[in-house]
Structure 1
Amino acid sequence: MAGMDSLYMESVLAELQEVLPGSRISKIYQPAAAELIFKLWNRGSTWRLLLSCEPGRSRLHLVEGSYPNPPAPPRFCQLLRARLVALTDLKQLPGERIVRLSFVGANGSNYQLQAELTGRSANLILVDEQGRVVDALKRIPAEHGKAAILPGEQYQAPQPLAGQLLDNGIPEPPDGLDASALEQWLLAGVRPMSRLLARDISQQVASGRSPRQVLADFAERRRSRDNCFAIVSLEDRPQLLPFKLRALTGKDLAIFTSASAGAEAYYGEFMTSSDQHGPAGEMRGLLKKTLKKLKRRQERILGDKRALGQAADLRQQGELLLAQLHLVRSGEKSITVDNYFLQPPQPITIALDPRLTPQQNVERLFRSYKKIKRSREHIERRLIETEQELLWLEGISLSLAEAQGGEEFLAIRNELAEQGLLKGKKANVVQRGAKGVAGVRKAVSPGGFGISWGVNNRARDYVTKNLCQAADLWFHAHEMPGCHLVLKRGDRGDVPEEDQLFAASLAAGYSRGKNDGIVTVMVTEGRWVAKPKGAKPGLVTVRQFQTLRVAPLRDPGDTGARE
């Protein structure tokens, strides 16, 4: 994955310039070694601006997700907090991956934060009014003829890139260039330009269009901001684009309404950050936190359920106390009476509230009995809801561990957003029938039976509802999160034991028990599996089943993560 290119950065800057100039700084924090987040307030809204110098992921854009805020700010972050008060302007150097952010300081002085988002050499440098370096995220001594980036040194901007700016006119490419040579000329001679769009332009020229016409068309799209922010799969690799491709053929994975939303999803969900922060890390943290909260709620509800057993005892105590009320004296903390519900009667001690009269103590016991009795239905309902939510979240956790590529991460992100657990808007994931369902895997059994399974909740629902027919065999690890797996029986009648064991082993291999020695797997016909109305994604009911005990098996060609 490469850092943000100058073309995409241009689109992000256009968005930022509409909402950020004039913002006051609420907070600055550093969630990772090479990342800063500015929390800004402007026009009644709060904005979070991310600046990242991480190699291969250097970029800037707005973010909506939550990021960790270390209790002790690192050196550079602490300096920025002390010096900067408000953001006044943002400007991108034409055709470059360098952005100058202008700030006003606490004493009215002016500062510039030079965001050099240039790949491995990316850096953030705070410069004062005299052009001197106040400090930098990465302090760099002078070497190989390059100026030092150290406090007190005069700041020297990087040398501008070669090539003609599109804002200054459309350059004329040399005659006789083939597609590869034209692509290299575009990268070296035209700014701004990205590697993927250079290839797309060269392919348009190779198909017969004139180079000048294609460049003029692209320049007009850029000028009019005819953007389409999308994550596209090309050669099995996800790519972040600010414009639609005209010649190259790729599969749209997700389309976004803003440049920042696309960048946050692309750099967050594709799991290449060594720091594991951002939206992908947020999903893991969110799941861990929510599971912990649900398990605490489950314990409380189970405690309430255990208290239901006291209802009969409270009623008995109330009746015994009422029958022997003449023995009770005001102010007593307890009384021992005969329990006539036992034969022969046995003494029983009943706790009293000394602040109440004997009659009020009787009424207290009957009130407690009725309250517990009324709450029984509510407790049972809450317990079922909590257990289903736990099953769903445990399935999401397994899905995250199994996810391969951005399309599957986006499917998980969207599911969490739909259920209200993840902040931010759901991405518009493009789907085309079966091929558009992220997370469906396929294999063939030793006897030639087709097998399909889903490794995230949407894929599980698709496999169970769309692929599984009444006579097909359906598999799932018993009493643990796992994939929904279907063995297509077709018109072949009985399925040999070898094929059933193979399918069951795959179901075990794509479950939480994938690292266990032996896993118990349910097997049933599709007719006995149903999706309850209103159930969360990935949850089904199974009316009858048999079990097989097998060793977990993974598809040899699968590169999914193992816990």
Structure 2
Amino acid sequence: MAFDGTCVACLVHELKEQLLNSRIAKIAQPETDELLLTLKSSSGQKRLCISASASLPLIYLTDSNKPSPMTAPNFCMLLRKHISNGRIVDIYQPKLERIIHFTIEHLDELGDLCRKDLVVEIMGKHSNIIFCTEDGMVIDSIKHVSAQMSSVREVLPGREYFIPDTMEKSDPLSVEEPDFIRLLTEKPMPLSKAIYTSFTGVSPVVAEEVCSLSGVDSSVTPKELSEDILKHVYNQFNIFFLAVKENQFSPAIYYDGKEPKEFSALTLTHFGGYAQREFSSISEVLETYYASKNTITRIRQKSADLRHIVQTALERNRKKYDLQLKQLKDTENRDKYKVYGELINTYGYNLDAGAKKLEALNYYTNEMVTIPLDGTKTPQENAQRYFDKYNKQKRTWEALSKLIQETGDDITYLESISTALDIALTEDDLAEIKEELISAGYMRRKFTKKKVKIKNKPLHYISSDGFHIYVGKNNLQNDELTFSFAVGNDWWFHAKGAPGSHVIVKSEGEELPDKTFEEAGRLAAYYSKSRGSDKVEIDYIEKKHVKKPKGAKPGFVVYYTNYSLVIDSDISHIKELS
């Protein structure tokens, strides 16, 4: 979700409660586009992190510190000169813009009391931190924006500060019903887009929520709606933003399994399918959300090389598999040539010399067949030619059948590694997958060093009924779980016909309740290629019936009898243990 105006409003409310009248004790600039302010108040010390990063602009209260460069950058030195030991006397947000103003009271060089503004603009790649005089002149900014960079607004020392209104959006907190309806009906676009392009600080997610609350399809255009429906949409819009006016915020993160999907300062009812975790602070939401997002992003970046190796091998094997199937199809008529040879030996004794064909009764089917002949050869030579052709195609069929099985197994194996890469959450997970690829011959070990011992544990959950459930994160862990960790009466789960994790439920000799079966099935569905599906078929069986064929690849098992259940892949209510 965009760091939109509602989140900024929630943050301003929080900062006012905690930072008003606090003094700026320390100013640091740990990154070229980031400030870290240490503030002291009667309630104790607080740190405010402000980032104007083009990829991840943020502002939030934090307990953690960051190392600063030995020599402070110029912007940091300027702030220290002017507002070090200054007092924050006001924090406000103009309209519902993604902008926060900090009004700071301090003593100038002559000892006179004066005020300055530190303006934080959270606007994607245009984000900035701008230091201004009380009357709105730019003293300096963390990013300089010249006329060559922007034709809308220069951000340079000595220029006047103003908020560029490039899209002429209205304030959602003060819009009246007639103006609301007029603004929407003027735009020939879907309703949700018309909402977020008409009002400041409204993100696409908030626009979807307004449509959902109104019970209106967000894809229809406003002109298709009657005036009564548009009035209803306005009422829901007004109710939603009344919470912003009254500071009735409910910060939360919405999770798709373990992955944070969205965050919001207000409840999003149309996200009912996701697990919701509520927080008392929007700063905690931002820090948690982006820390989790950064972890997932970092792991995906680190796994890029492994993904490339797996994807390349998959594409090569799929092409090979298709070619082998095509070649196998060419051998489908091999038995016909054997019959032709037999019929020539049976009926060819009365053929005329140089005959081009033989019409004979096929005694296997009781049908007449016409057999093409080579007129330069004897009947015996023609028969032998067909027998040779049959034997050649039979050998080809036997060899291809074996190769197709091997290639199919390779594809399934590589797909299981691809699924393991999707599941991976730590560098140890990637290291274990890399070791597996080296062992399987898809990668070479660098520097010929010995095999690294990786201490990596499977995922551990506990069911609602108190049974311990373990989930393998890759093929090596799957084998370890199933054939070393699990005992005969433990239960084994796996998504049917899809690459995924082995899931083991420790039964401790007891009979499992139905709910535990369902929760283990959900885990098997979630940690498989079928993640996200509403209906996933799961095979489950006691571990003692699961076997590993001799010479099979890691993670491969066979079983000849099993139970099945169909379940969704929502694991949000299953407790994970560390």
With normalisation by structure 2, the TM-score equals: 0.50
Q: Distance in 2 between matches of 1:439 and 1:70?
A: 45
Q: Distance in 2 between matches of 1:102 and 1:438?
A: 54
Contact map agreement 1:162 1:188 (CA 8 A) in 2: no
* 1:57 to partner: Cα distance: 2.0
Post-superposition CA distance 1:298-349 (Å, at most 9, x none): xxxxxxxxxxxxxxxxxxxxxxxxxxxxxxxxxxxxxxxxxxxxxxxxxxxx
Match of 2:547 among 495, 504, 507: 495
Match in the other structure for 1:227: 249
Is 1:468 paired with 2:506? Answer: yes
Name the aligned partner's letter for residue 156 of structure 2. L
Contact map agreement 1:173 1:185 (CA 8 A) in 2: no
* 1:234 to partner: Cα distance: 6.4
Match in the other structure for 2:168: 162
163-172 vs 441-450, which deviates more?
441-450
Is the alpha carbon distance of 1:89 and 1:491 closer, same or farther for their aligned partners in structure 2, counting shifts above 3 Å? closer
Q: Distance in 1 between matches of 2:464 and 2:170?
A: 44
Match in the other structure for 2:181: 173
207-216 vs 11-20, which deviates more?
207-216
Match in the other structure for 1:294: none
Instruction: Report the 3-state secondary structure (helix = DSSP H, G, I; strand = E; otherwise coil) of the residue aligned with 1:167.
Output: coil
Match of 1:199 among 201, 208, 217: 208
Q: Distance in 1 between matches of 2:463 and 2:4?
A: 29
Q: How does 1:111-126 map to 2 (within 5 A)?
A: 111-126=116-131
Instruction: Report the 3-state secondary structure (helix = DSSP H, G, I; strand = E; otherwise coil) of the residue aligned with 1:102.
Output: strand
* 1:7 to partner: Cα distance: 0.8
Instruction: Report the 3-state secondary structure (helix = DSSP H, G, I; strand = E; otherwise coil) of the residue aligned with 1:197.
Output: helix
Q: Distance in 2 between matches of 1:267 and 1:215?
A: 28
Match in the other structure for 1:400: 426
Is the alpha carbon distance of 1:178 and 1:191 closer, same or farther for their aligned partners in structure 2, counting shifts above 3 Å? closer
Is 1:102 paired with 2:103? Answer: yes
Q: Distance in 1 between matches of 2:463 and 2:507?
A: 21
Match in the other structure for 1:134: 139
Percent identical residues: 20
* 1:130 to partner: Cα distance: 4.7
Q: How does 1:24-423 map to 2 (within 5 A)?
A: 24-84=23-83, 85-86=85-86, 87-107=88-108, 108-143=113-148, 144-159=150-165, 162-171=168-177, 172-173=180-181, 181-207=190-216, 210-233=232-255, 238-252=261-275, 254-271=277-294, 400-401=426-427
Name the aligned partner's letter for residue 196 of structure 1. V
* 1:463 to partner: Cα distance: 6.8
Say which one has the larger Rg: 2
Contact map agreement 1:201 1:247 (CA 8 A) in 2: no
Aligned residues: 335
Q: Distance in 2 between matches of 1:180 and 1:438?
A: 49
Instruction: Report the 3-state secondary structure (helix = DSSP H, G, I; strand = E; otherwise coil) of the residue aligned with 2:72.
Output: coil
Is the alpha carbon distance of 1:271 and 1:43 closer, same or farther for their aligned partners in structure 2, counting shifts above 3 Å? same
Is the alpha carbon distance of 1:131 and 1:203 closer, same or farther for their aligned partners in structure 2, counting shifts above 3 Å? closer
* 1:168 to partner: Cα distance: 1.7
Match in the other structure for 2:523: none
* 1:27 to partner: Cα distance: 0.6
* 1:88 to partner: Cα distance: 1.9
Post-superposition CA distance 1:349-370 (Å, at most 9, x none): xxxxxxxxxxxxxxxxxxxxxx
Is the alpha carbon distance of 1:273 and 1:146 closer, same or farther for their aligned partners in structure 2, counting shifts above 3 Å? farther
Contact map agreement 2:169 2:197 (CA 8 A) in 1: yes
* 1:53 to partner: Cα distance: 0.7
Q: Distance in 2 between matches of 1:438 and 1:491?
A: 13
Is the alpha carbon distance of 1:43 and 1:504 closer, same or farther for their aligned partners in structure 2, counting shifts above 3 Å? farther
Q: Distance in 1 between matches of 2:189 and 2:269?
A: 17
Match in the other structure for 2:414: none
Instruction: Report the 3-state secondary structure (helix = DSSP H, G, I; strand = E; otherwise coil) of the residue aligned with 1:76.
Output: helix
Contact map agreement 2:119 2:129 (CA 8 A) in 1: yes
Post-superposition CA distance 1:455-494 (Å, at most 9, x none): xxxxx9x977xx234599xxxxxxxxxxxxxx97616536
Is the alpha carbon distance of 1:188 and 1:150 closer, same or farther for their aligned partners in structure 2, counting shifts above 3 Å? same
Q: Distance in 2 between matches of 1:215 and 1:130?
A: 35
Is the alpha carbon distance of 1:176 and 1:141 closer, same or farther for their aligned partners in structure 2, counting shifts above 3 Å? closer
Q: Distance in 2 between matches of 1:109 and 1:80?
A: 14
Name the aligned partner's letter for residue 181 of structure 2. P
Name the aligned partner's letter for residue 232 of structure 1. Y
* 1:152 to partner: Cα distance: 2.7
Is the alpha carbon distance of 1:491 and 1:56 closer, same or farther for their aligned partners in structure 2, counting shifts above 3 Å? closer
* 1:121 to partner: Cα distance: 0.7
Contact map agreement 2:29 2:36 (CA 8 A) in 1: yes
Is the alpha carbon distance of 1:153 and 1:193 closer, same or farther for their aligned partners in structure 2, counting shifts above 3 Å? closer
Q: Distance in 2 between matches of 1:468 and 1:273?
A: 30
- Output the aligned Cα RMSD: 4.5
Contact map agreement 1:179 1:206 (CA 8 A) in 2: no
Q: Distance in 2 between matches of 1:433 and 1:88?
A: 51
Contact map agreement 2:101 2:119 (CA 8 A) in 1: yes
With normalisation by structure 1, the TM-score equals: 0.51
